[in-house]
Structure formats: structure tokens, C-alpha cells
Structure 1
């Protein structure tokens, strides 16, 4: 495509002339709805998101006490945010009806870098995030943040999920937020993009590996969590998360059932039933759309055996030798 034609597609006023010029030099691709993606530093972004990434890379000043919650989209992000908030808030002795999770969607408490704070500027006002620790979130791969965070000892928690369940969750979420009829053709289009890596924030396996390698290289700074383990062993995984964040549960807290209370508070059943999560919006999406089944292996009800086998083969090939397995 001629660069002039490409630039004519970029109409959003959040995108600077400098970024438009950069986009014209990058590999491009259309997603399942015909929206343009471009590949920057090995990762596919839509144009607005790329602007947020660039603004973040130019302007974010990390503090050593910062906590960054990272994930590939639709991998357990909302749950991880809720658990982290509940773990950190437990020392504040909230009354039962004044806990922040009862009046705010988790995405309203823990803002995204590239999708929210830095979408319009490289120097947003972070004054209201002055509490220690500051909590942020991102879908960027770890290597996209490397230069920005390299001199900081801030902590990063990454949650991953089986690619098949992630794909199906993307399908449901995309159809909900774009008001599309959920049909097989959309699923098959998403499947094709997932498998060839040309998907938003993809390739999926490179995203996983960036954080997996980071956790092996610096386990005190990067925690790698699995959605499936969080579902199977919530008590142990909540304790593991609290330990990593530097606020382990005391013996008295464990004996009093504090860990189980946090697990119950942050359960899909409880969060999805709260008024705040049945109404309102977060990042232009209805809060209710962030909650569906949350089941492990639900993808088998939607993917054909051939689709499942192809994904298994791709993941086995791409993760070979890394020590990471599904």
C-alpha cells in the first residue's frame, strides 16, 4: 500500500504526525473487522494503542514501589486486578460496605498505561495515583517496557491463560463490545489471526515468552501466574501473590479465614453480581462484558477438534525449549 493511502486511514486526532509517519514505515495488517494494525517492536497494535505505547515509553517515570499487572487480553486481567486490590486493601480495615471493589469496577481502580493514562499524552497527571504502592496495568509485552523500567525495581505480575480459552473469550468479548452477532465466521477469522500471530498484542506466544523469560531472569521482580492454577488452587495462589507483593498473610490472618474471604470477594460469582459491574462502562466497554464464565477448558464447546489440534501444535512448536508448557 502506498504510504499516502495508509496515512489517509489514520484519522484519529489522538495520533501525532510523528506517529503517523512511523506507522507509514511499519508492516500493516487488517483485523477481522477491517481495522488497521501495525507491527512495532515485534508486537501488533491498533493505531491508537501504538500512540499510547509510544507516549508511555517516552514519558512514564517509574517508582520502585510501583506494581504493574500485565496480561494478554482476555487472560484473567479483571480477576488479577481484583485480587491485587483486595490483598493490598486488607490492612485498611474497610467496613463491609465500603470496600473499593464494591463501588468500583477493577478496571476503574487499576488503570491501563497504553489504553488509558498515556493514550493522549506522554505526561498525564498521575497525582491521584500517589498512594504507595501505585497500581497500574498493561497488555504490552515485557520487552516493550524494558527501557522504561530497566532502572526501577518495581514489581510486575503477569497472568497467562491457555490460548484456546483466551481465543474464545476474545470472541465473546469482541462481539459484545462491537454489538456483533456472534457467529462462526467471526470465530474462524479470529482463529486464523491468532494462529498466524497477526492479532492485537500478538503474537500470543511472544507475549507469553517475554514475561516467562523475565520471571526466570528476575523472579523477585517478575511473577508469572497461570489462570488455570489460580482456578484450581485459589488459596495457595492468593498467598503466593501476596508474598510476591511483599505483604504476606500472617498466621492470624490465615486462621481467621482472610485468604478465603478475599477469594470469595473476588470470585466471578460475586463480582459479576455487584451493581457496579452490572452497570456503567470501563474503557468504552460495558462493565458486565468483563464477566462471562471464567471456566477452564470452556473452549472445547466452541472450537472444532481440528482447531484445537492446530493451536496445540503451534504452541508446542513456539514454546519448545523454553521450559514453559500448557
Structure 2
């Protein structure tokens, strides 16, 4: 054995606590439940933020959590809607382009395809972004748009999506 090996530091022998699991105290959860029952989404998000943005078994960015809760509560899927689901940064733009092209292949030819001039994110709106940001505009009113996308986990999708 080589004598050049350094002894283990005291830190290496200590038990490491998993800091990714939030430690909720009872008052935070009670306040969280009280606000959730009141259906006041900004208050709910502010309490969840206190709980280190961990909600429903998932880590959230505050703005996406608020949008996801809004979509979960108010979005009503129609029978002919198609939802493109993906994790962030896994090729969502590419997937939206392919989905739009396949779904609209008989509506546009190569020279008139909207993808030539517009971003796929403009053509297939995110449930948790566009729907809550523009509640005064009914995205379901557009009968031609049956394509939506989301980064929400399956257990957070609106009931109308899961049950369709």
C-alpha cells in the first residue's frame, strides 16, 4: 500500500442527509390546505413557494406551478383535442413541428405551411403558459386548433384530459 493516501476527513464518515426531500412542518401544511380549499391560486403558489416549490411530488418553478394549477382547474379538453406531452428540454419544438405537420398535412402545401413563418410554440400553445396568461381569450373557442402541449407530469393533467 502506498503511504501517500490521505486519511478520510470527518465529513466523509458523517451520515449525509437527503436535502432534496422537503421537511414540512405541520403549520405550513395546514396553511397550504386552508388556502387550497379557498381556491385562491396566487395564495396557494406563495405557500407552495415557502415549501421550497415542492408540490404534489414534483419540483416546480413558481410560474409553471401557477399555470399548471390554473389549467388543471379550468381547462376542459374536447374529444378531438390532441395533447403533445414532453419533459422540458427534450425536443419539444421539434416534436411540435412534427405534430403540427402531420395533423395539418391536408390543409397546407409546402409553400403555405405556417411553420415557414411562425414558431411551433405559436401554433401549439402550452396549457400551463398560454391558457392561464390569457384567461380572457378562450383558446377552446378556436375550433380549428385541436393541438395543445404541456410539460406537466401525468398526475397533474386536468381531469378532462386524463379521463378522455
Normalised-by-shorter TM-score class: 0.5 to 0.7
Match in the other structure for 1:141: 153
* Aligned pairs (5 A) from 1:5-24: 18-24=40-46
Matched, 1:88 2:103: yes
Give 4+ residue runs of structure 1 displaced > 6 Å after superposition. Answer: none
Task: Please list every run of 5 or more consecutive structure 1 residues that lacks an aligned counterpart in the other structure.
Answer: 1-16, 30-37, 153-326
| 1:107 equivalent among 88, 108, 121 | 121
Q: 1:131 to 1:20 in 2, by over 3 A?
A: closer
User: 1:239-281 CA deviation, whole Å, 9 max, x = no partner?
Assistant: xxxxxxxxxxxxxxxxxxxxxxxxxxxxxxxxxxxxxxxxxxx
8 Å CA contact 2:42, 2:66 repeated in 1: no
CA distance in 2, matches of 1:61, 1:42: 24
Matched, 1:76 2:91: yes
Q: Which TM-score applies when normalising by structure 1? A: 0.35
CA distance in 1, matches of 2:138, 2:92: 24
Matched, 1:52 2:52: no
Secondary structure of 1:143's counterpart equals helix
Q: 1:25 to 1:42 in 2, by over 3 A?
A: same
How many residues get paired?
129
CA distance in 2, matches of 1:63, 1:150: 12
Secondary structure of 1:112's counterpart equals coil
The alpha carbon displacement at 1:47 in A equals 2.0
Task: Please list every run of 5 or more consecutive structure 2 residues that lacks an aligned counterpart in the other structure.
Answer: 1-38
The alpha carbon displacement at 1:78 in A equals 0.5
Secondary structure of 1:111's counterpart equals coil
More helix by share: 1
User: 1:284-319 CA deviation, whole Å, 9 max, x = no partner?
Assistant: xxxxxxxxxxxxxxxxxxxxxxxxxxxxxxxxxxxx
CA distance in 1, matches of 2:72, 2:124: 19
The CA RMSD measured in Å over matched residues stands at 3.0
